[in-house]
Amino acid sequence: MSTVSTATTPPLEILATALAALRGRMEAVSLAIHGRPELKFDEFHAHELLTGWLAESGFTVRTPPGGMVTAFVAVHQGDRPGPYVAILAEYDALPGVGHGCGHNLIAAGAAAAAIGLVRVLPDHPGTLAVFGTPAEEMGGAGKVRLAEAGVFDGVDAALMFHPGDRSLTARPGLAAAHLRIAFAGTSAHASISPWLGRSALAGAQLFLQAVDAMRQFVPPTVRLHGIVSDGGAAPNVVPAYAAVDLYVRDRTRTSVDALVERVRDAAQGAALATGTSAVVRETGPTYAERRNNTVLAERFGAAVGALGVEIQAGDPDGPAGSSDIGNLSLLMPVIHPYVQIAETGTPSHSAAMREAAGTPFAHDRTQVAATGLARVAAELLTGPELLAAARAEFAAQADPRP
């Protein structure tokens, strides 16, 4: 296969050919991760597969960045100064669901995008890197922790894609706080002398009722949802400990911060009513709202559209989840487009999405998405105008909070 020897942006067709040549390895890596799901901060198998492939392909692998053993930075240094472009890989799974969010595709597609671009443009200026970012699910906040450790210092733009039930150049992302509300009571025999006990589970139940009542009096953009993560050990023992894991989401961190204070008040009220005590703590850093860089997202959309995938602009007021990429989007231009791998209406974080993430169709679409990422990365490395435009949009979105 021929390569482009000058620092011009390679044609989309050449990038597509390079990604097609990587299809077999990309699919094998994806299916290996899919078949062995690993939870946050325990992604050792995925880490080995990805770093091994990138090292074989000429990338210098740095691990563990920021002290996170399942994170990595795989760098391909250009032959002269230029931008620093990061392609992001996620590879953690969900408890009980496995890869119901399709992170196996994100991981394999990110590696393929970078490897394919370097094959086509080995003498690129600047720096191209794949960042392995663990623990996006369950509030693990791998990207936040890496950023706080300085691992993203100097990066000019970060790119990734996400599988879904439709193709969108951008989608909103809510800010999210991850809370554990722990109730402490007094144990007693639940039949002989229950009056000597104080039920922590009763505190948790009353707290959840308070949260249900609160939903009527919050904006429609708010999401309050949780589970009883500990409700006691035996029916004949008044539980001395119970816990609720709760997520608080809204469009901005400012709103989320205010809602968290209301949640704290509800917990203290439930504790007072049940004769228990309550402690509210964060189980991970707050995820910030996502600021999609439309300049770069539209470039991605143009590339995948030219490759035959119909893609639309997302509705900024549409339903949204949360991701730690929101925190990165406050530091640099970021894209997080979606590429359809399943029938429209297939819910994310479901068994149906997990099954879809292992199909040939999903890998067809991942190949297209990887080509789109490679195209945007190539333009950033070789065309200063695109980076300047992305930076201008990013500056216009500057966070007004101190």
Residues 216 and 302 in one domain: no
pLDDT of residue 318 exceeding 90, the answer is no
Residues 60 and 188 in one domain: no
The residue out of 267, 287, 307 marking a domain boundary is 287
Residue 401 is predicted with a pLDDT of 52
Query: Which pTM value belongs to this model?
Result: 0.91
User: pLDDT tens, 172-214?
Assistant: 999 999 999 999 999 999 999 999 999 999 999 999 999 999 9
pLDDT of residue 402 exceeding 60, the answer is no
Residues 126 and 188 in one domain: no
Mean of pLDDT values over 283-303:
96
Tally of domains in the chain: 2
Domain that holds residue 101: 12-173+290-396
Residue 79 is predicted with a pLDDT of 87
Residues 169 and 179 in one domain: no
Q: What angle do CA 95, 97, 99 make, to 5 degrees?
A: 100
Q: What is the dihedral of CA 144, 98, 336, 401, to 10 degrees?
A: -30
User: pLDDT tens, 361-381?
Assistant: 999 999 999 999 999 999 999
Q: Is residue 137 part of a domain?
A: yes
Q: What is the CATH number of the domain that holds 261?
A: 3.30.70.360
pLDDT of residue 383 exceeding 50, the answer is yes
The residue out of 287, 303, 329 marking a domain boundary is 287
User: pLDDT tens, 34-54?
Assistant: 999 999 999 999 999 999 999
pLDDT of residue 145 exceeding 90, the answer is yes
Q: Is residue 203 part of a domain?
A: yes
Question: CA-to-CA distance for 32 and 395, rounded, in angstroms?
Answer: 40
What strand order describes the sheet that includes 157-159? 60-62, 72-77, 127-132, 84-89, 157-159, 334-335
pLDDT of residue 1 exceeding 60, the answer is no
285 neighbors 145 (Cβ within 8 angstroms):
yes
Residue 184 is predicted with a pLDDT of 98
Confidence of residue 317 (pLDDT cuts 50, 70, 90): confident
Q: Is residue 401 part of a domain?
A: no
DSSP 373-392: HHHHHHHHHH-HHHHHHHHH
Residue 260 is predicted with a pLDDT of 98
Question: CA-to-CA distance for 10 and 379, rounded, in angstroms?
Answer: 8
- Where are the alpha helices (H) located in 149-238, listed in sequence order? 200-214
Residues 162 and 241 in one domain: no
The residue out of 268, 287, 306 marking a domain boundary is 287
Q: Is residue 1 part of a domain?
A: no
pLDDT of residue 301 exceeding 70, the answer is yes
